[in-house]
Structure 1
Amino acid sequence: LSLSVSVYQFLCSICLDVFTDPVSTPCGHNFCKTCITQHWDISTQCQCPMCKEFFKQRPELRVNTFISEMANLEGSMCKKHEKQLELFCKTDQICVCLFCTFSDHKSHDIVPLKEECEVKKAELGETDAEIQQMIQKRRVKIQEIKRSVELSREDAEREIADSVQVFTSLMQSVERGQAELIGMIEETQKTTEKQAEGFIKELQQEISELMRRSSEVEQVHRSSYVGSVRRAVAQLEETLSNEMKKLLEAELKTVQQFEVDLTLDPDTAHPKLILSDDGKQVKHGDVKKNLPDNPERFSSCPCVFGQQSFSSGRFYYEVLVKGKTKWDLGVARESINRRGQITLDPNHGYWNVCLRNENEYKAAAFRPVRLSLKSQPQKVGVFVDYEEGLVSFYDVDAAVLMYSYSGCSFTEKLYPYFSPCVNDGGKNSAPLIITPVSHAD
């Protein structure tokens, strides 16, 4: 349920605006279809504007449906009142609807949105026609420079040929002078070409900047919301982030209502495990205790079941994992193999989340899933909905969902499953502790 939205993911790097008909290049970068097409139309080489990768021929552009759908989320409706954004608050620099002016913006400086867009358009200082004219002038200048270079090259070649013809008869006496003359002519030509390349590069950069500004002007003509779209997207991002955090906190509080009181079952504990007297803590010891070899006991892996089993309904419990470098937590069905080595995956009756190497978290699914967590959980919550076939794991302190197994088919008793793993010479000696839920006021 974790969600992260960034405004920059929905902005074209050419026009710096929200994507219109977003397409992807073979190198993986995204642009408005019109922006990248116009960029290649005026460029002498087919090149990605972002990573500068060259293409031998203009590649086929494919519509990026994901970005297109996400960009379409940026509607022009007020999220609070479900009304059209027709006004602009100069005080807060945001778009508002009519109802906003009677509540949050009662005493603010409010103007029609179209009027504000016209002001923004006037601030651009140049019309699209003027920019196009400036672009054309620079294109003409590029052609003039190229022609000048060509004429210079022809003159150089002609001078070299004339020099060779004039001094052929005097080769022995003026050979050194002839070589120097040719060198001077060639050096002059190189200098001319180098200067021309510099002029062309500067003019092409100016054309690119003018094209960008032209796109801004065109966007102003097409949409009355161009002056406020970035602020609207930023507001949307902040709202989504806050709402998602509230939803996750509410979800955790909901599942915590199904808290059960668990104790560990000593008859299932591996002989090297040490259980506390109250049955709430378990850790791994170096000495193997002489215990009855009953069929319920794990014989090889350092595991233990909870005494309580569940065959219907919902249940939730929390385990303190602070200070550990390895652990396994979850639930398992009653009929799992407890003798010898075990395989932690749903196909063998286990639904678990594991920690390895201090900071490597994974879900032991049919194919292990690496979990990317922003922080290391100190307390893990486990929630099971038997009828829905759902097993979820939470970072309690961060109120973050770590992973969920969904669509499971439970047909027998489920037991809470704990493994503190081996103590690793004392590095992993901290216990797993079943703790009561701390309900916030």
Structure 2
Amino acid sequence: MSAASCLLTEDQFLCSICLDVFTDPVTTSCGHNFCKACITQHWNVNVPYQCPNCNKLFYTRPELQVNTYISEMAAQFRQSAQQKASSSSSEQQADKPGEVPCDVCTGTKLKALKSCLVCLDSYCETHLEPHLTRSGLKKHQLIDPVENLEGRMCTKQDKLLELFCKTDQMCVCKLCTVLDHKNHDVVPLKEEYEGKKAELGKTEAEIQQMIQKRRLKIQEIKHSVELSEEDADRELANGVQVFTALKESVERRMNELLDMIKEKQRKTEKQAEGFIKELEQEISELKKRCTEVEQLSRSEDHLHLLQSFRTLNTAPPTKDCTGVRVSPPSYEGTVRRAVNQLEETLSKQMKKLFEAELKRVQKSAVDVTLDRDTAHPNLILSNDGKQVHDSDVKKNLPNNPKRFNCFVCVLAKQSFSSGRFYYKVQVKEKTEWILGVVRESINRKGKITMTPPNGYWTIWLRKKNEYKACADSRVRLSLKSQPQKVGVFVDYEEGLVSFHDVDAAALIYSFTGCCFTEKLYPYYGPGLNDGGKNSAPLIISPVNHTE
């Protein structure tokens, strides 16, 4: 039976209804075979009963029995087909997408294990065997399987590309070195490969370093965002606390004002009520006396009138009402005094805020020193570069393009092009000074208009205690006291330059909405010596974070 089944084809074991190998095959009287379930379902739907193959008509529905012979043949065929499929799957591994197929295999292409640079073919394990066993083929150069081996041949000479021309930066064959690349710097592919591989390793290392830098920058940015969130939360909490306190203070002062006004009015009304009550009582007494006098005047009893005249002829005792008056209470200055008290409360809160702000900006303190190459010839700098004053004597110095030749000033050596920075300067006992920051490209020769458009963000003290901010138009500053130490704070990205009275913990002035695109340098102008009246130096002071 096994031998017979091998002679039969797959079509002979297929049901013409389901087109699959027979299951429980039955045979009609006309000699055709079907799956029992298939022909049964067919006849359940189609009446009269006909053979699906030859259309023979059956007047009664045939009773069909399973054909055991056909059933056994179909079962054996099914088993043989399954074994064949399983064997083929396990013994032959066809190439997958992305893998190099064997060039010798016919039909199903198996995965290549090696490619030969001489034969220009790729081989699977079976077809590679001659290259591993035959002496003539053993000399061929084998490499890991690659596609397009023709691309490894010189298109001009049809020879293997074995060399690299460093002069023209291209792969060449041996024949090309004596024809098109004569006298060129030619090396074996392996040598150039090693060099380029080393370069790729270096490039990879550089790229990995760049990736690491960017990862660190991402961490830095995330950390900055976290710090910003912390600052925002802290500022929100402080703001809510301060404004809540101010709101409560305003409400308390308003209630005190209303209570005071109401109390004054209540006292006035009470005083008036007392006066009115007394006067009404006196009116009542006077009306009574008036009635008695009227009755006595009508009496014709001579004796009675004369006896009563002495007591009724005079008015009853009363107070002199001409001096009685109720003056409305004075409310002059009441609201003003309440507002003054509120201002004092607000001033205390502002002082606390400025103290907290000053502590925060002092965290951005930087160490700066004066740059002698920028100093005006009149200026004298200390050896440590921390102090400067005017000498009234112009020194003969080289014409340095960095040096100021008109304004008596000097810049710091340090510059800043991002982030925040803060420095502090002592201005004690000086009658003139200028402080701030300037951009790198400012004009340093001749007279200069010190304004932000020209690259200057500064404030100054002139004679007669006149403080001004050098904005587009000069802004006169009203300060409660003369600063002894001035702190200068810059937030580059925020576009902010602010000046602080360090001792008073008060804001002097702020430039806001600035647009910085260059390096910024701290700027110091000690002012003219003025015959010794302004000889005190500007001193760059170290920042004490506990101030």
Partner SS state of residue 426, structure 1? coil
Partner SS state of residue 424, structure 1? coil
Report what 1:284 is aligned to: 390
Report what 1:349 is aligned to: 455
Structure 1 residues 337 and 412: alpha-carbon distance in aligned structure 2, compared to 1, 3 A threshold:
same
- Deviation track 1:394-429 (CA, whole Å, cap 9, x = no partner) reads 111111111111111111111000111221111111
For the 8 Å contact 2:363–2:545, the answer to whether it is kept is no
For the 8 Å contact 1:324–1:358, the answer to whether it is kept is no
The answer to whether structure 1 residue 437 and structure 2 residue 514 are counterparts is: no
* Cα drift, residue 341 of structure 1: 1.1
Report what 2:267 is aligned to: 123
Q: 507, 511, 514: which is aligned to 1:408?
A: 514
* Cα drift, residue 277 of structure 1: 0.6
Partner SS state of residue 242, structure 1? helix
* Cα drift, residue 288 of structure 1: 2.2
Structure 2, gaps ≥5 residues long = 1-242, 277-321
TM-score scaled by structure 2?
Answer: 0.41
Partner SS state of residue 354, structure 2? helix
Partner SS state of residue 429, structure 1? coil
* Cα drift, residue 286 of structure 1: 2.9
Partner SS state of residue 358, structure 2? helix
Q: Looking at both structures, which has the greater relative contact order when contacts are Cα pairs under 8 Å and sequence separation is at least 6? A: 1
Q: Distance between the aligned counterparts of 1:282 and 1:341, measured in 2?
A: 21
Partner SS state of residue 531, structure 2? helix
Q: Distance between the aligned counterparts of 1:260 and 1:395, measured in 2?
A: 18
Report what 1:381 is aligned to: 487
* Cα drift, residue 232 of structure 1: 7.6
For the 8 Å contact 1:326–1:358, the answer to whether it is kept is no
- Deviation track 1:126-149 (CA, whole Å, cap 9, x = no partner) reads 5999999xxxxxxxxxxxxxxxxx
Q: Distance between the aligned counterparts of 2:518 and 2:486, measured in 1?
A: 25
Q: Distance between the aligned counterparts of 1:328 and 1:117, measured in 2?
A: 51
Q: Distance between the aligned counterparts of 2:335 and 2:487, measured in 1?
A: 41
One-letter amino acid matched to 2:507 = L
For the 8 Å contact 2:246–2:346, the answer to whether it is kept is no
**Mapping of 1:229-268 within 5 angstroms?**
236-268=342-374
Q: Distance between the aligned counterparts of 1:252 and 1:385, measured in 2?
A: 14
For the 8 Å contact 1:325–1:356, the answer to whether it is kept is yes
Q: Distance between the aligned counterparts of 1:78 and 1:334, measured in 2?
A: 45
Q: Distance between the aligned counterparts of 1:372 and 1:440, measured in 2?
A: 27
Partner SS state of residue 460, structure 2? strand
The answer to whether structure 1 residue 392 and structure 2 residue 498 are counterparts is: yes
Structure 1 residues 409 and 235: alpha-carbon distance in aligned structure 2, compared to 1, 3 A threshold:
same
Q: Distance between the aligned counterparts of 1:122 and 1:298, measured in 2?
A: 73
Q: Distance between the aligned counterparts of 2:437 and 2:415, measured in 1?
A: 10
Report what 1:269 is aligned to: 375
For the 8 Å contact 1:330–1:382, the answer to whether it is kept is yes
* Cα drift, residue 358 of structure 1: 4.6
Structure 1 residues 253 and 292: alpha-carbon distance in aligned structure 2, compared to 1, 3 A threshold:
same
Structure 1 residues 262 and 240: alpha-carbon distance in aligned structure 2, compared to 1, 3 A threshold:
same
Number of residues of Structure 1 aligned to a counterpart in Structure 2? 254
- Deviation track 1:350-379 (CA, whole Å, cap 9, x = no partner) reads 010101115111111111011111111111
Structure 1 residues 410 and 344: alpha-carbon distance in aligned structure 2, compared to 1, 3 A threshold:
same
For the 8 Å contact 2:381–2:387, the answer to whether it is kept is yes
TM-score scaled by structure 1?
Answer: 0.51
* Cα drift, residue 440 of structure 1: 2.1
Structure 1, gaps ≥5 residues long = 1-76, 89-93, 96-112, 133-201, 217-227
Partner SS state of residue 399, structure 2? coil
Q: Distance between the aligned counterparts of 2:338 and 2:529, measured in 1?
A: 53
- Deviation track 1:211-240 (CA, whole Å, cap 9, x = no partner) reads x68x99xxxxxxxxxxx9999867644432
- Deviation track 1:39-65 (CA, whole Å, cap 9, x = no partner) reads xxxxxxxxxxxxxxxxxxxxxxxxxxx
